[in-house]
Amino acid sequence: MPVDSPVTLAARERFLRRRSGDAIGAELRGLDAREAFLAEKDDAPLAIQDVKLSLGIGVGNVDSQSYKNVVKVGKCVTYNKVVGIFGFTWEDHIGKVFHLCSESCSSIISKFLSTSFGGQDNLRCLIPCTIDQDPYFRMTRDVAPRIAYQKSALIESSFFPAMQGETGKMSPSDPNSAIYVTDSAKEIKNKINRYAFSGGQDSIEKQRELGANLEVDLPFKYLSFFVDYDAKLEVIRKEYGAGRVLTGEVKQLLIQVLTELVERHRRAGAAVTDEMVDAFMAVRPLPNMFS
């Protein structure tokens, strides 16, 4: 939700609870409230789950200790340093600078959450993120030992490219730049058929002769994220790259995969109740975390 959106606090809370339900229904599928903790950080729910290692995500705006950590990080980072990391200019507003501290403190377990982790508040955090988040947590890794916390570890994932390909960018102002979990089956089909950038040739004859350029083909890139079996993806790669499969066939496969995925997500989210959200967001001990 953009910072300058004309929304009320009540609307923001409804948005967060709806997103929390999505997270519980999809991202935490198969877990229960004894194994996972869901916390609010800025405008998005964050998941902390028991995976038999010291895994945690701090909470940005949920308690006073978190704010103290934000202040501590802010005192350890000079403006010259953030200019070097993020490229700020003298024209940038101070909110950007403050946001760096808040975002970075996601990797610090606050005392507020220590109840969930057996009273421990100096755990090493494992942060799954995309490459654009890397500078925030690298900055925090430099600061953490100075404020008596451990350095976090990162797992960096790949970006989903925009529907228009690697040169495009997903944007709320262009609804055809991405597939949304709220899209209908008809919308998914239309977006993929009309807007998904193809690496295939401009005629069947050329496609049979030259095959598709998989380095730029959006449907194949999306399938590489969503096809569960490497062997199946390898067959698609070889056949499509060699021209034995046409672009339309690959697009139809992607439409089927994404339509089924979005429908599963919709059903799972609809099954989440307010009581389930409350249970996941309650601060409580997680007895299985260190067992």
CATH topology of domain 31-157: Rossmann fold (3.40.50)
Per-residue pLDDT, 217: 95
**Residue of higher predicted confidence among 112 and 38:** 38
Per-residue pLDDT, 163: 93
Per-residue pLDDT, 216: 94
| Domain 175-269 in the same topology as domain 31-157 | no
Q: Cα separation of 163 and 153, whole Å?
A: 31
Residue 274 has pLDDT above 50, yes or no: yes
- CA separation, residue 211 to residues 13, 59, 192, 238, 248 (Å): 50, 49, 20, 9, 13
pLDDT tens-digit map of 71-128? 888 899 888 988 998 888 888 888 888 888 877 777 776 655 655 666 666 677 888 8
**Residue of higher predicted confidence among 10 and 31:** 10
Query: Is there a contact between 71 and 138 (Cβ–Cβ < 8 Å)?
Result: no
Q: Which residues pair with 37 in a beta bridge?
A: 48
HEC sequence for 223-271: HHHHCCCHHHHHHHHHHHHHCCCCHHHHHHHHHHHHHHHHHHHHHHHHC
Percentage of residues in the chain having pLDDT higher than 90: 29
Per-residue pLDDT, 118: 63
Residue 3 has pLDDT above 60, yes or no: no
Q: Which residues pair with 163 in a beta bridge?
A: none
- CA separation, residue 233 to residues 69, 164, 259, 287 (Å): 45, 22, 18, 40
Per-residue pLDDT, 25: 73
Between 75-84, 95-104, 175-184, 281-290, the lowest mean confidence (pLDDT) is in 281-290
Residue 226 has pLDDT above 80, yes or no: yes
Residue 257 has pLDDT above 90, yes or no: yes
pLDDT tens-digit map of 195-225? 999 999 999 999 999 999 999 999 999 999 9
Per-residue pLDDT, 44: 43
pLDDT tens-digit map of 12-34? 677 777 777 777 776 555 666 77
Residue 241 has pLDDT above 90, yes or no: yes
Under the banding of pLDDT at 50, 70 and 90, the label for residue 155 is confident
b (16+ CB within 10 A) / e for 35-53: bbbbbbbeeebbbbbbeee
Domain residue ranges of the chain, discontinuous segments joined by +:
31-157, 175-269
Say what the pTM is: 0.73
Between 46-55, 88-97, 134-143, 157-166, the lowest mean confidence (pLDDT) is in 46-55
175-269 belongs to which CATH class?
mainly alpha
For the chain, what is the mean pLDDT? 79
Q: Cα separation of 280 and 258, whole Å?
A: 28
Q: Measured at the alpha carbon of residue 32, what is the angle toward residues 153 and 279, in degrees to the nearest 5?
A: 100
**Residue of higher predicted confidence among 130 and 231:** 231
